[in-house]
Structure 1
Amino acid sequence: MDNLTHSLVGAVMGQAGLKRKTGLAMPALIIGANLPDVDAACFFWLEGTEHLGFRRGITHGPPALVILPLILAGLLWGFDRWQAKRGMRPEKRVTVHFGWLYALSFLGALSHPLLDWMNVYGVRFWEPFAPTWAYGDTLFIVDVWLWALLIVSVWWGYAKEKSGGNQRPIARGAIAIMLGYIALNWTITWMAYQNKGVTAEPYPEQFIASPQPVLSLGRERIARLYDGRWVSSTWEGEDAGYGYRHSAETQCLLPDLSEQSRDNSQLDAFLFWSRAPFGTRAKDGSLVLHDARFYDPRARERFSLALPDVKCEPLPHSSS
């Protein structure tokens, strides 16, 4: 999920009562909820599609979820001591307990991969032990309704506390609504997978129910047909049956690219990351790789990789 959602989840957990456990509890929860995204620094040394195969991996796995919160807790504890030595420590701050700082940092960090799992991009929970992607297909990566719920609850709770009231029921109610909203969306996705997006045969060979932005209870139905074509319920192009649409671009037969990927780090990363790879024909007749989850015929450069040395071969039974 986006970092605003992660931060708001950390904040609402604090307002639900956890911030009373120790001084600097809110920074531990909010920063902790964003800790796994330190892997974004990979943009400084990785190029092109290489970051796709690196993100949501090593910093989202068990060792990182133990070590990163420990570092954060140590920094917060040291900051509190540094302020105290210089007479700058706020008088209203309660005693800082390192054990609680670590526990809250860990809880915040743990919420991060759980939320990341809920969209179609996926997460690798068991890195570095197993490089296996897991997908929840439950929420869009930016869910405006979660934003609205969490922003209102955090602001309302803050205002309630400032006026001398109890903010905990507000935060706990928001958490309950959030969990119910997630459960509802998970159920919608589960139901979509029961019939693979269609009501009669032939069923697609592979099917993905992708949550949509704003209309969060809807699902984009993405499918791989028996002839190798990838189709979607939202793409522009010719009708492929059962409400699916075929891309207006020519799709290519996807060859075995394992040999080329050994010498091409961009290709290796793309294939490792891609859940629904398919190819289209470039103007020069070569192959361009895409992923059906993030394909938009109007923005073909997005999440794509050109392979100028690989010829686009037509799919069998393709009308193109």
Structure 2
Amino acid sequence: MDNLTHSFVGAVLGQAGLKRTTGLAMPALIIGANLPDVDAACFFWLEGTEHLAFRRGITHGPPALVLLPLILAGILWAFDRWQTRRGTRPEARLPVRFGWLYGLAFIGCLSHPALDWLNVYGIRLLEPFSSQWFYGDTLFIIDPWLWALLIGSVGWSWWREKLGGDQRPIARGAIAVMLAYIGVNGAITWLDNATRGTMTEPYPRAYIAAPLPLTFWRREQIAQLEDGRWISSDWKGSDFGYGYANSDQRQCRLPDLTEARRTNSQLDAFLFWSRAPFASRAADGSVILYDARFYDPRARDRFSVALPDVECVELSAG
């Protein structure tokens, strides 16, 4: 999920009562909820699609979820001691308890992969013990409805607290509604997968029920047919490549890339990450690899790999 969602999940947990456990509880929860995304720094040293193979892996796995909160708790504890020595520590701040700081940072960190698992991008929950990708297919990566719920509840609870009231029921109610919302979306995805949506025989070889932005009750039905083509119920022309305005865009037979990926780090990273890879014809007749979940022929850098030395063998459009 996006970092705004992660941040407000940490904030609503604090408003639900956890911030009363120790000084600096809110920073521990909010920063902790974003901490696994330190892997975004890989953009400084990785090129092209190599980030796809690195992100949502090692910093989202079990060892990181233990160590990252420990580092954060140590920094916050040291910050409190530093302010005390300088005489700048706020008088209203509760005593800082390291054990509670670590526990809250851990809860914040744990909420991060739990949310990331909910979308179609995927997450390697067991890294470094296993590189298997897990997909929840439950929420779109940016969910405005979740934004509205979290921002509204945090703001309302803060306002009530400032007026001397108890903010905890508001935040706890928001958490209950959020969990119910996730549950309903999970049920929609489950039902769509069970029925294959509106698709009829011949049934697809592979199928993804992908959540959509805003219209959370709908699912983009992404499917791979027996001939290897990927189609989508919610994309232009309902067929990747054939529905695009550029008539040169055609799906190609996916070649054997076993040898090529050994010497091409971009290709290897893409195929390691891709859940629904397909080949499309470039203007010069060569091949471009896309992923059916993130298909956009106008933005070829982030979620695609060009293979200029591979000739496109087109699949039938019918």
For the aligned pair, the TM-score class normalised by the smaller chain equals: over 0.9
Single out whichever of 297-306 and 254-263 deviates more from structure 2.
Answer: 297-306
Task: Classify the secondary structure of the residue corresponding to 2:84.
Answer: helix
Q: Distance in 1 between matches of 2:299 and 2:83?
A: 51
* Structure 1 unpaired stretches of 5+: none
Using the TM superposition, give the Cα deviation of residue 45 of structure 1 relative to its aligned residue in structure 2, in angstroms.
0.3
TM-score of the two chains, using structure 1 as the length reference: 0.95
Q: Which letter does structure 2 place at the counterpart of 1:144?
A: P
Task: Classify the secondary structure of the residue corresponding to 2:287.
Answer: strand
The aligned residue for residue 136 of structure 1 is 136
Using the TM superposition, give the Cα deviation of residue 319 of structure 1 relative to its aligned residue in structure 2, in angstroms.
3.4
Using the TM superposition, give the Cα deviation of residue 217 of structure 1 relative to its aligned residue in structure 2, in angstroms.
1.4
The aligned residue for residue 252 of structure 1 is 252
Task: Classify the secondary structure of the residue corresponding to 1:94.
Answer: coil
Q: Distance in 2 between matches of 1:256 and 1:307?
A: 12
The aligned residue for residue 282 of structure 2 is 282
Q: Distance in 1 between matches of 2:296 and 2:217?
A: 21
The aligned residue for residue 95 of structure 1 is 95
The aligned residue for residue 317 of structure 2 is 319
The aligned residue for residue 195 of structure 1 is 195
Using the TM superposition, give the Cα deviation of residue 300 of structure 1 relative to its aligned residue in structure 2, in angstroms.
5.2
For 1:70-109, what aligned pairs fall within 5 Å after superposition? 70-109=70-109
The aligned residue for residue 66 of structure 1 is 66
Using the TM superposition, give the Cα deviation of residue 111 of structure 1 relative to its aligned residue in structure 2, in angstroms.
0.3
- Show CA shifts across 1:55-102 (max 9, x none): 000000000000000000000000000000110000000100000000
The aligned residue for residue 296 of structure 1 is 296
Using the TM superposition, give the Cα deviation of residue 305 of structure 1 relative to its aligned residue in structure 2, in angstroms.
1.0
For 1:1-320, what aligned pairs fall within 5 Å after superposition? 1-198=1-198, 200-237=200-237, 247-248=243-244, 249-297=249-297, 299=299, 303-315=303-315, 318-319=316-317
Q: Distance in 2 between matches of 1:133 and 1:230?
A: 20
Q: Is the 1:233–1:245 Cα contact (8 Å) retained in structure 2?
A: no
Q: Which letter does structure 2 place at the counterpart of 1:319?
A: A
Over the aligned positions, Cα root-mean-square deviation in angstroms equals 1.5
* Distance change (3 Å), C-alpha of 1:294 and 1:132: same
TM-score of the two chains, using structure 2 as the length reference: 0.96
**Identical-residue share of aligned pairs (%):** 70
Q: Distance in 1 between matches of 2:241 and 2:259?
A: 32
Task: Classify the secondary structure of the residue corresponding to 1:314.
Answer: coil
Using the TM superposition, give the Cα deviation of residue 180 of structure 1 relative to its aligned residue in structure 2, in angstroms.
0.4
Q: Is the 2:57–2:124 Cα contact (8 Å) retained in structure 1?
A: yes
Q: Is the 1:122–1:136 Cα contact (8 Å) retained in structure 2?
A: yes
Task: Classify the secondary structure of the residue corresponding to 1:145.
Answer: helix
Q: Which letter does structure 2 place at the counterpart of 1:285?
A: G
Task: Classify the secondary structure of the residue corresponding to 1:34.
Answer: helix
Q: Which letter does structure 2 place at the counterpart of 1:195?
A: T
**Alignment length, in residue pairs?**
314
Using the TM superposition, give the Cα deviation of residue 213 of structure 1 relative to its aligned residue in structure 2, in angstroms.
0.6
Q: Distance in 2 between matches of 1:198 and 1:174?
A: 34
Single out whichever of 289-298 and 174-183 deviates more from structure 2.
Answer: 289-298
Q: Is the 2:49–2:302 Cα contact (8 Å) retained in structure 1?
A: no
Q: Which letter does structure 2 place at the counterpart of 1:40?
A: A
Q: Which letter does structure 2 place at the counterpart of 1:84?
A: T
Q: Is the 1:10–1:30 Cα contact (8 Å) retained in structure 2?
A: yes
Q: Is the 2:149–2:174 Cα contact (8 Å) retained in structure 1?
A: yes
- Show CA shifts across 1:4-42 (max 9, x none): 000000000000000000000000000000000000000
Q: Is the 2:28–2:101 Cα contact (8 Å) retained in structure 1?
A: yes
Q: Is the 1:234–1:245 Cα contact (8 Å) retained in structure 2?
A: no
Q: Distance in 2 between matches of 1:77 and 1:55?
A: 29
Task: Classify the secondary structure of the residue corresponding to 1:231.
Answer: strand
- Show CA shifts across 1:127-165 (max 9, x none): 000000000000000000000000000001111111100
Q: Is the 2:241–2:250 Cα contact (8 Å) retained in structure 1?
A: no
Q: Is the 1:286–1:312 Cα contact (8 Å) retained in structure 2?
A: yes
Q: Is the 1:236–1:297 Cα contact (8 Å) retained in structure 2?
A: no
* Structure 2 unpaired stretches of 5+: none
Using the TM superposition, give the Cα deviation of residue 200 of structure 1 relative to its aligned residue in structure 2, in angstroms.
3.2
Q: Distance in 1 between matches of 2:82 and 2:308?
A: 57
Q: Distance in 2 between matches of 1:197 and 1:252?
A: 26
